[in-house]
Amino acid sequence: MKVGELAQVARCTVETVRYYEKEGLLPAPERTAANYRRYVQAHVDRLRFIRNCRALDMTHAEIRALLERIDHPAGDCRAINDLLDQHIEHVEARIGELRQLQDQLVSLRQRCRNERPIDACGILQGLAAMETEVRPPRPSHLG
């Protein structure tokens, strides 16, 4: 199948296919005599796997590590479990950050309960007076 057909079957764009090839997540396909790329079912399966991982917010490094295990299946799945445990920790940390953000926004929203003139808007006044914390760089699985 050609790149457009692969993209359609895998429910993504041609640009996505080419991007994953460029990133080394999707192996380069064989070429026809006319130099067209020729994709096979293995490309469809791998592309779906990559897209499923991305839907779980996994990084390319995490996906690459999983694909390495698929490509070289020796050993057990301990490393895969560890990778997923680490990803869960990153998600939990991000949820905590989002909850703090939500609390800040709710607090800010409570400063202006009724329609007021702009110069008396508690939200705008709160934003102008708010001191943002200097946060140390947080470890991120996004790199």
pTM of the model: 0.76
Q: How far apart are the first and last CA of the chain?
A: 35
pLDDT tens per residue across span 24-78 = 999 999 998 998 889 999 999 999 999 999 999 999 999 999 999 999 998 899 9
Distance CA 17, CA 3 (A): 7
pLDDT of 138 > 60? The answer is: no
Who's near 21: CB < 8 A, 6+ residues apart? 27, 28
